[in-house]
């Protein structure tokens, strides 16, 4: 199957800088026409860059967590550019704080932009594609690429809001893939490590000495363009860690150990013997999949 996006129309949110800009340019380079989104004035440069690649491009400015913005992005793609084939949900923000110091607004704003922002555009696109499939009497073309993060597994102590939002995005992605599979639509999530304005304090300056910064968005954007293409028709419902020339497919969580009561119901002593005994020799600072995901990618 072809990796070309010629004749396709893609929407990319948060496209004004960093990862979103790189993704928009990768899409345009593969042949797609674009609807790009960012806050007021932030996408002006990428619009010029997309035009320089010979592609049509429209900008929809606004907050991705507002229904009106999602509606405008769908309308720009379908009504003005003639179709919608790809959605790349990238827009995000951080408000880092330790859980015990985090305000209501700091939690709500991050979950709102990341998770609600992903939901609104995905929902609009899903309704459009499902209606198309019903009208056509069979599958149509559609691909959603969401932006999760390893934070949904590792649980950074200063990013309870961000980690929670990204966990929601991972679950939303799988639900999207399952809900739209019969319509021919695919959905996948990437967990990128990319040096952008949002992650500047995480990765710092590039000291690798390599020709391309291992944390450059240039390593991530080609993967997103590929996932959007017909060549990736068999890839759906997946979560992929992407950075530095590496793609790692994350396995679904599995049951590590099962315990069964020997009586009718659990007693505190039996729970302590079985469950407590299992964890007695383990480091309490490491839980769930945080240790395994970091071993896999570092």
Catalogue the active-site residues.
Answer: 149, 162, 166
Q: What residue spans of 151-259 are helical by DSSP H?
A: 151-154, 160-180, 200-203, 221-228
CA 189, CA 174: separation in Å to the nearest integer? 9
Distance of CA 64 to the CA centre of its chain: 14
Among 164, 136, 161, residue whose Cα is nearest residue 152: 164
Tokens 């709500």 sit on residue: 108
In the chain, what is the straight-line distance between the N-terminal and C-terminal CA atoms, in Å?
32
Tokens 């056509």 sit on residue: 136
- Could you give the 3-state DSSP secondary structure of residue 277? helix
Report in angstroms the alpha-carbon separations of 158 from 95, 102, 164, 295: 9, 9, 12, 21
Q: What is the DSSP letter of 223?
A: H
Among 32, 82, 19, residue whose Cα is nearest residue 228: 32
CA 146, CA 161: separation in Å to the nearest integer? 18
CA 269, CA 276: separation in Å to the nearest integer? 9
CA 224, CA 23: separation in Å to the nearest integer? 7
Residue 249, CA atoms < 13 Å, CB-side half-sphere: 8
CA 294, CA 103: separation in Å to the nearest integer? 29
CB 218 within 8 A of CB 22: yes
């Amino acid at each position: 199957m072809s990796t070309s996006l010629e004749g396709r129309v893609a929407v990319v949110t948060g496209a004004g800088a960093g990862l979103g800009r790189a993704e928009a340019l990768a899409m345009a380079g593969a042949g797609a026409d674009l609807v790009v989104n960012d806050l007021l004035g932030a996408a002006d440069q990428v619009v010029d860059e997309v035009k320089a690649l010979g592609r049509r491009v429209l900008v929809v400015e606004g907050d991705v967590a507002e229904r009106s913005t999602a509606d405008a992005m769908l309308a720009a793609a379908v009504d003005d550019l003639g179709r919608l084939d790809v959605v790349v949900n990238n827009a995000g923000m951080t408000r880092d704080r330790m859980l015990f110091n985090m305000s209501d607004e700091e939690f709500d704003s991050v979950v709102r932009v990341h998770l609600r922002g992903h939901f609104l555009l995905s929902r609009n696109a899903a309704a459009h594609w499902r209606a198309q499939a019903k009208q056509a009497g069979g599958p149509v073309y559609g691909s959603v690429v969401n932006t999760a993060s390893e934070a949904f597994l590792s649980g950074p102590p200063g990013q309870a809001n961000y980690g929670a939002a990204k966990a929601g995005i991972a679950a939303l992605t799988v639900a999207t893939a399952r809900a739209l599979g019969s319509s021919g639509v695919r959905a996948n999530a990437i967990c990128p490590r990319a040096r952008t304005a949002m992650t500047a304090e995480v990765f710092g300056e590039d000291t690798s000495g390599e020709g391309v910064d291992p944390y450059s968005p240039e390593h991530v954007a080609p993967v997103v363009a590929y996932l959007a293409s017909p060549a990736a028709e068999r890839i759906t419902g997946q979560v992929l860690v992407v950075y530095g020339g590496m793609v790692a497919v994350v396995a679904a969580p599995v049951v590590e150990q099962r315990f069964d009561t020997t009586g009718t119901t659990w007693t505190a002593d039996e729970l302590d013997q079985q469950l407590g005994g299992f964890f007695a020799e383990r480091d309490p600072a490491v839980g769930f999949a945080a240790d395994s995901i970091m071993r896999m990618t570092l």
